[in-house]
Structure 1
Amino acid sequence: MQLSKQNIASLSAFAKRLSIFLLTGALFISCTPLDTNKKLEVSPAANKILTAVSAMAPASDDKKTFVYLDSAYRTLKAPTFIDLYAKYNFKGSRYLRYHANTAKARMYADSMLYVLAGKEETYNLRYTKAVFFKGDVLFTEMRYNQAFELYYSGREFAMKNLDLCNIFEYTYRIGMVMYKQERYLGAVPYIKRAFYESRYCEGEANGYKVYISRQGYLNTLGICFEKVGMLDSAIYYYRKSLAFIEHDVPALPENARFRSAARGIVYGNLGGVYAKRNQLQLDEAYLKKSIAINDRPEGDLGDARTAKVKLARLYIQIGNIDEARLLYDQLKETSQKQERPLSVDDEMDLDQIGSQYYRKINNFFLAYKYIERYNSLRDSVYRSKTDLMRSDLDAAFRVTEQNYQIALLAKDRQIKKIYMFSFGILSAIAIGVLALALRNKKRLTMVNAEITAQNAGLQMTLKVLELSQKENNLMIKIAAHDLRNPIAAVINAVDILRSAKLPDKHLEILELLEDLSQRSLETIDSLLNINLDTENITKEPVEMERFLFQCVNLLKFKAVEKNQHLELSAFQVVVEVNKEKIWRLFSNLIYNAIKFSPYGSQIKIGMEREDDDLVFFVRDFGIGIPEELQDKIFDIFTEAKRFGTLGEHPVGLGLAISKQIVQAHEGEIWFESVVGEGTTFYVRLPLKKCNPNLTRA
């Protein structure tokens, strides 16, 4: 089917807006809409009549077309309600689209709903379109709240009974109600959602209409953003609309003419945006391109007129008076030739341009005449919009939602009867299951009693073991504490004897005695630190970069003895920890790295941020840990004891205590080791538990 001039011209029902044409023409162009239900369809005889009248071009009153339709229908022996529905659809659509006779259109919309009464769910698609059509009529009559209620309730019905391909136009219309109330940003989410939902119609038989709709939705989004001054977003959607025109185009003969007209419309809109951005050269270029495309019989003459109005304003602004006068005369000549009277918006455009033009050439008498008429029309339009702008769509939305929920409750009552019957059957099954369960209850009770008794015995045994463990720990600490003073006295005695003049062989014995005493003290200190009280550990804020720096500095003397280099890489971060315990942790790890690294090697200490944790590492390039010892090194009194690279004596408790310290801070400690290449110990501490104040140097 080739598009007629009227079809092309109607692409901008609001003078420049391709998208708003979609409001009344997308579904009711055809007199025989498709229905997803394979129930009763339009009879062949009625379909033949409707095909014939559809081929008749719309006339000024369509009187002959309607007379032929009515007389031909009277020849049908027994027209079905679907035949009548199709007839009412055709007549109502003609009255609304071509004659703006909303009273007649509303009457036929009511008739369409009447013939489907009681059959709404069976003929769900036709019912949805009838509700849709009546909403369009109310929208045209500027009864926006009522239109909104119909669109919303129709969409809810469609959501339950149809697929998304039959829903997107409802979503779009809800957005257009907000658009007409100048709530442009409120319209945007609905239009975007309609664009998304329309994807489900790609490849369908009505794919061309969907293609027109989707392109129009992008254009309308640009208009909404332009209206609220978000010009970058407007340009984005206008360009996206142009890109859509060039891609994914249905292979249909009428497509070329539509693409040309649509492209011209978007060019005109882009010109308007660039005018608002004061990019006048781009404004002029796009407006000229728009006029060149649509100012011809096969183009969109309405949009060409809009582009000329914008271009005339531009020429007046930049002082190109001759070009402005030429466009002004063309606009007046076109308005005098057209059959229909000018719309109020068109009259206002002409008066405003006339006023601006005559003021520019210093003809203030005519300038005043036109501006006075323009102001009078503007005031009239403002008054007519007052009631519209007072409408509360949010309240209408709430009322519609409540009414729809009431209707759902009524339907639920019917469903509940079915549920009650089903409940009776399920209850009988449940009783049988319950009886079976009762038979096994005694046996399960006996088994549970045995398990409970065993659990009680195990709990008692566990308590005894815990008590014994506590007593053992206490005895170890008492013994270690009692040993500390005598050994400290031995060390003091060694210091006193050293000051005396003794033979060298006696001094060697004193050094050996001092070394053994020091190692004994280290072992005692380790015993005193095992089995930390993790619940009562006291924490304080500690700045970790400075803390690690101090820790490394205090151990440098040990590294210097083996000509080793300690390298620290850290950043500023405050963490709540027990300073004494964490000091012992890192001292143990760094001292072990020194102990098991060869002469002249390097040891790296650092920290990293991983999500909500801090991960510290101590990396050496020493002898490594044999695989057979790796699962034992964190054990208390472990057998995995080894001498250092220069014969340093092992204690065996350092890593066990380190693990307890990390666990007390709800952290994790692990290592990676390769024999002969070195070992890296990692400590993870949770920042989220520590109220961090993280900054990087």
Structure 2
Amino acid sequence: MKLLIPDKFIPAIYCWLALTFCVFSACNNSQKQTEAEKQIDLLAPTDRLSIVAREKMLPYADSVYRAQKHKTPYLKAGRLMAYSNYYDLKAQYAQSTPYVDSAIAIIANQDLTDSTWTNYYFAANIHKAVLLFKTGHYSSAINIYSDIKGLADRPGNKCRIGYKLDNNIGLILYKQQKFDEARRYFMLAYNELKECSADKYVAGYEQQFLDNVGLCFVKQENADSALAYYRRALHVTIADSDKFSRDAVQNNVSKQVSRGVIITNMAQVFVKQNKLDSAEMFIKKNIVINALTFKNEIKYAQLSQLYLADLFDLRKQYPKMKETLASLRKSLDTIHNDEVELGWRKSMAVYAGKNNLPLEELKFNNRYLAFKDSLNEARLANTASDISKELKAKGQQMDIILLQKDNELSHLYLWITIALSVMALAIVALVYYYYRKGKKKNDALSLLNSEVSEQNDKLEFAMVELEKSNTDKERILRVVAHDLRDPIGGVASLVDTILNDDLPEEDEKQSLRLIEKSLGNSLTLINELLVLDFGAEQIKLHKEPVDINETVIQCTALMQLIADKKHQQLKFTPLPEPLTVRIDKKKIERTINNLVGNAIKFSPAGEKISINLQQKNNAVIISVVDNGIGIPPEMLGELFNKFGNTRRMGTAGEKSFGLGLSVCKQIVEAHSGKIWVKSEPQAGTVFYVELPLGYDI
């Protein structure tokens, strides 16, 4: 039986890795970034999420975009590219294309003489061309490559983007079955890459180009040369295993997926050489890598499953062939793949013929031929163009346009020089005139300045006192707003429940007790604020013996009412037995409510939040664990500082005053305790409070 040649394993499977790296690293390579340019770095984690948690890409990009008050072109284009990449990875090319078109429209209006915008413009256009390539619009992809080749061939850009463009041109030629020309472009890209030393994380490109050359040799029936290049590519994944990406997770995924592609290509050569045991082992290994280990890359395992079915046909192992084709059908129903769909229909017809099922054989043969005809029509329309000739013609057109531009600029620079000279003379005359006029007024101004200076000294003293007074008032209002919001919100929820639900008498009493307790806590807080000295660092405590389990249970019950609004669940894990500690109960409840309230605010809807108690020596540790958006590293040092700038919007747009954690720190330290936090962006947050028991045990 004739095996399918691995067209689908053309290294375009790595294009998304190349694209995301190019887009975001381009912004990081700028030697001097403005504040606007730095905003694009906030979106860099979407690159990592595309590997480890693809469904979180768009929510993260949207949250970053909304959080920035000033929407720079970098941020707008970066968010659009994140959307386009997401739909590209899901093979939803029709949804992906409008987003990259919008991004290109923004980037094209920027200063393309700037290296950062040059790289960004190149990456967006390459992505657009890749989408056209994947959908069979080769001529349109060629036009884009032609337009940006002049940009890529500039000396300053050769080591950043030139080799990527040459590789993509090779992919077009490969698809057009011009294997000699394609191999020449792949080797050109490889040699250009080896001459560049700007970035050491290029192992993915190096093995990709070598693998491409091997594919060309396979098409030209040169198995020995193909195996030689495949082994060189496989060696890169071993020798340079830490040079696929700066991020450790992305590095591992890229390395393993690359290795799986290479060994599958080698397996096809082994089949031609009748080394069927080795071929089966290599194909199964790739299926494990791409379908099981890295489930996001299951589409790369589909072709391997088809190869495995064909291999079972060669070995006359028809039950295994049927089982493999059935599994592949389930995968294709989830993620469509034209090349694999065509091969599946052919293999099903072969299976039916080998197992004396003539009606099934006829049905699948008809489906195979119909689908093949539709694909051939698209290929016929797109193999007619000659990319080499078009690139040359486009290059000549570009040279003419550049000469015209240079001539226009020369005339423009001449007129600008004349205008600047005239303006300079006028400015000199004006300066001299106003210098003479100003000199006469200097004496009068000196006397007036001395009087103003004396008045300023008096005003400055008054302003300092006024500013201090205003600061104290503002801080009082912020504390009141922050610490009364959650208890009053909980009371409102309880009252609504009592009014609108027909509750049992016992539940109604329990709700009323919670209302009474919450209002009592709020009244105590107001009384404290009336006598509070915000200039003092010490907090007065009224300690009493308290069952810490019962205290946290009450806080959890009240805060669950707040969490219900976001469909979140609070899970409390108490100590196995009651434990009495000496604390100021109301202030510790205030601290716990603040920490749980923050977890609710910065966690997505539907998430679970854990509150845990643990006894350690003569202390009890309270931990609040969430799976929310986490805390950026640059904020961690400011988190407990009452003058720090750590205010952020919650996941549902909730406001933040940036004061609650500083109050928590004062309360805990007044108890001779400790408070600390562990957090990573997009990986959740854990706050810890350690309180001494207050007793010798």
Q: Distance in 2 between matches of 1:310 and 1:330?
A: 13
Q: How much does 1:26 deviate? A: 0.8
| 2: CA distance, partners of 1:227 / 1:174 | 18
1:352 and 1:374 in contact (8 A); partners too: yes
1:381 Cα deviation from its structure 2 partner: 0.7
- Tell me, what secondary structure is at the counterpart of 2:327? helix
Q: Select 2:367's aligned residue among 361, 373, 388.
A: 373
Instruction: Give the distance between the partners of 1:17 and 1:388, measured in 2 at CA.
Output: 19
Match of 2:400 among 406, 429, 443: 406
In 1, the alpha carbon distance for the partners of 2:271 and 2:367 equals: 25
Q: In structure 2, how many angstroms separate the alpha carbons of the residues matched to 1:118 and 1:163?
A: 12
C-alpha spacing 1:120/1:235, structure 2 compared with 1 (3 Å): same
Write the distance in 2 (CA, Å) between the matches of 1:315 and 1:345: 20
Alignment correspondent of 1:172: 167
Corresponding residue SS for 1:27:
helix
- Counterpart contact for 2:30–2:115, Cα < 8 Å: no
Which residue pairs with 2:306 in the alignment? 309
Closer, same or farther: CA 53–176 of 1 in aligned 2, 3 Å: closer
Q: Which residue of 2 aligns with 1:551?
A: none
Q: 1:284 to 1:138 in 2, by over 3 A?
A: closer
Which residue identity lines up with residue 188 of structure 2 in the other structure?
A: R
Q: SS of the counterpart of 1:382?
A: helix
CA distance in 2, matches of 1:129, 1:259: 22
TM-score (norm 1): 0.51
- Structure 1 letter corresponding to 2:397: N
User: Whole-Å Cα distance in 1 between the matches of residues 321 and 213 of structure 2?
Assistant: 31
Letter of the 1:298 counterpart = F
- Cα deviation for residue 219 of structure 1 reads 1.2
Q: 2:20 is paired with a residue of what secondary structure?
A: coil
After superposition, residues 602-617 of structure 1 pair within 5 angstroms as none
| Cα displacement (A) at 1:387 | 0.5
User: What are the equivalent positions in structure 2 for 1:338-487 lying under 5 Å apart?
Assistant: 338=334, 340=335, 342-413=336-407
Give the direction of change, closer, same or farther, for the CA distance of 1:398–1:231 in structure 2 (3 Å limit): same
Q: 1:268 & 1:233 partners in 2: Cα distance? A: 16
Kept in 1: contact 2:349–2:362 (CA 8 A): yes
Contact in 1 for aligned 2:306/2:343 (Cα 8 Å): yes
Q: Which secondary structure state, in structure 2, belongs to the residue aligned with residue 250 of structure 1?
A: coil
Q: C-alpha distance in 1, partners of 2:238/2:45?
A: 34
Other-structure match for 1:267: 263
**C-alpha displacement at 1:198, in angstroms?**
1.5
What CA distance in whole angstroms lies between the structure 1 residues aligned with 2:46 and 2:278? 46
Kept in 2, the 8 Å contact 1:91–1:105? The answer is yes
- 8 A Cα contact 2:173 2:181, kept in partner: yes
Classify 1:216/1:414 alpha carbon distance in 2 versus 1 (closer, same or farther; 3 Å): same
Amino acid in the other structure paired with 1:390: A
CA separation of 1:181/1:24 partners in 2, compared to 1, >3 Å: closer, same or farther?
A: farther
For residues 262 and 52 of structure 1, the distance between their equivalents in structure 2, rounded to whole angstroms, comes to 22
Cα 1:249–1:116 change in 2 (3 A) is same
Counterpart AA for 1:392: D
1:235 alignment counterpart: 227
Q: 1:331 aligns with which of 315, 324, 328?
A: 328
Shift of the 416–334 alpha-carbon distance from structure 1 to 2, 3 Å rule, reads closer
* Structure 1 residue identity aligned to 2:264: G
Report the CA distance between 1:199 and its aligned residue: 2.2
CA separation in 1, counterparts of 2:187 and 2:41? 39
The aligned runs of 1:69-88 (5 Å cut-off) are 71-73=66-68, 75-76=69-70, 79-88=71-80
1:320 aligned partner, one-letter code: Q
1:216 partnered with 2:204: no
Alignment-derived partner of residue 46 in structure 1: 39
- 1:280 aligns to 2:276 (yes or no): yes
Contact 2:183–2:213 under 8 Å retained in 1:
yes
1:202 Cα offset (Å): 4.5
Residues 71 and 239 (structure 1), Cα distance of their counterparts in 2 relative to 1, 3 Å cut: same
CA deviations on 1:657-677 (whole Å, 9 max, x unpaired) are xxxxxxxxxxxxxxxxxxxxx
Query: 1:194: how far off?
Result: 0.8
- CA offset at residue 112 of structure 1? 3.4
CA 358–330 in structure 1, closer or farther in 2 if over 3 Å, else same: same
**Which residue of structure 1 aligns with residue 145 of structure 2?**
151
Assess if the C-alpha contact under 8 Å between 1:264 and 1:293 holds in 2: yes
Q: Deviations over 1:269-302 (max 9, x none)?
A: 1111222344434433433443454442336533
Q: What is the CA deviation profile of residues 51-97 of structure 1, one whole-angstrom value per residue up to 9, with x for unaligned ones?
A: 57667667679775565455334x32xx4444444344434433444
Q: What is the CA distance between 1:315 and its match in structure 2?
A: 1.9
Q: Following TM superposition, by how much is the alpha carbon of 1:116 offset from its aligned partner in structure 2, in angstroms?
A: 1.4
Distance 1:193 1:385 in 2: 26
Matched position secondary structure for 1:34 = helix
Question: Is 2:319 aligned against 1:322?
Answer: yes
Using the alignment, how far apart are the partners of 2:153 and 2:36 within structure 1? 29
How far the C-alpha of 1:115 sits from its partner, in A, is 2.9
Alpha-carbon offset, residue 373 of structure 1: 0.9
Distance 1:327 1:129, change over 3 A: closer
Q: Deviation digits for residues 426-483 of structure 1, max 9, x if unmatched?
A: xxxxxxxxxxxxxxxxxxxxxxxxxxxxxxxxxxxxxxxxxxxxxxxxxxxxxxxxxx
Instruction: Describe the superposition over 1:571-592 as per-residue Cα deviations: whole angstroms up to 9, x where unpaired.
Output: xxxxxxxxxxxxxxxxxxxxxx
Conserved? CA contact 1:92–1:109, under 8 Å: no
Residues in 1 aligned to 2:116 and 2:310: alpha-carbon distance in whole angstroms? 56
Would the aligned equivalents of 1:257 and 1:298 in 2 still touch at CA under 8 Å?
Answer: yes
Match of 1:625 in 2: none
Instruction: Percent identity, please.
Output: 21
Q: Among 170, 176, 185, which residue is 1:181 paired with?
A: 176
Q: How many residues align?
A: 399
| Pair 1:199 & 2:194 matched | yes
Q: Is the 8 A contact 1:31 1:50 kept in 2?
A: no
Measured in 1, the distance between the counterparts of 2:401 and 2:114 equals 14
Q: 1:32 to 1:310 in 2, by over 3 A?
A: closer
Q: Distance in 1 between matches of 2:97 and 2:282?
A: 40
**Partner in structure 2 of residue 689 of structure 1:** none
Q: CA deviation at 1:405?
A: 1.3
Cα pair 1:112 1:130 within 8 Å, conserved: no
Q: Deviations over 1:589-635 (max 9, x none)?
A: xxxxxxxxxxxxxxxxxxxxxxxxxxxxxxxxxxxxxxxxxxxxxxx
**Contact 2:166–2:188 (8 Å) recurs in 1:** yes
User: Relative to 1, partners in 2 of residues 1:296 and 1:94: Cα closer, same or farther, differing over 3 Å?
Assistant: closer
- RMSD over aligned CA atoms reads 3.5
User: Aligned residue for 1:296?
Assistant: 292
Correspondence for 1:110 among 96, 101, 104? 104
The alpha-carbon deviation at position 163 of structure 1 amounts to 4.3
Distance in 1, matches of 2:377 and 2:269, equals 28
* Structure 1 residue identity aligned to 2:305: K
SS in structure 1 opposite 2:154? Answer: helix
**For each residue in 1:220-256, what CA deviation from the matched residue of structure 2 results, as whole angstroms up to 9, or x when unmatched?**
1111221232222222211211122121332663344
How far 1:374 moved relative to its partner?
Answer: 1.0
| Contact 2:180–2:216 (8 Å) recurs in 1 | yes
Residues 1:352 and 1:235: Cα distance change in structure 2 (over 3 Å): same
**Alignment match, 1:139:** 133
